[in-house]
Amino acid sequence: MHGYVGEHKLLAAVDCIIFGFDGWNLKLLLVQRNMDPERNKWSLMGGFIKPSETPENAANRVLEQLTGLKNVYMEQFHVFGKPDRDPVERTLSITYYALIDINQYKEQILQNQRAEWFLLTEIPALIFDHNEMVNLAKRKLRYKAALHPILFQLLPEKFTIPQLQALYEGVYNTNFDDRNFSRKLLSTGLLLKLPEKDKLSSKKGAFYYRLDQTNYTKNFEKFLNLVPNPDKFF
Q: What is the pLDDT at residue 146? A: 79
Task: Give span(s): CATH 3.90.79.10, the chain.
Answer: 11-147
What architecture does CATH give domain 157-233?
Answer: Orthogonal Bundle (1.10)
Nearest to 120 by CA among 171, 176, 46, 45: 171
CA–CA separation, 171 and 96 (whole Å):
17
| Most confident among 45-59, 95-109, 161-175 (mean pLDDT) | 45-59
The topology (CATH level 3) of 11-147 is Nucleoside Triphosphate Pyrophosphohydrolase (3.90.79)
Torsion angle of alpha carbons 166, 234, 101, 34, nearest 10°? -130
* Comma-separated ranges of CATH 1.10.10.10 domains in the chain: 157-233
pLDDT at residue 229 greater than cutoff 60 = yes
Rounded Cα–Cα distance for residues 190 and 210 (Å):
8
> Residue 44 has what pLDDT?
96
**Helices and strands in the chain: count of H runs, count of E runs:** 6, 10
Percent of the chain whose predicted confidence (pLDDT) is above 90: 46
pLDDT of residue 224: 65
Model-wide pTM > 0.85: yes
Decide: residue 112, CB within 10 A, 0-12 exposed, 13-18 middle, 19+ buried. Answer: middle
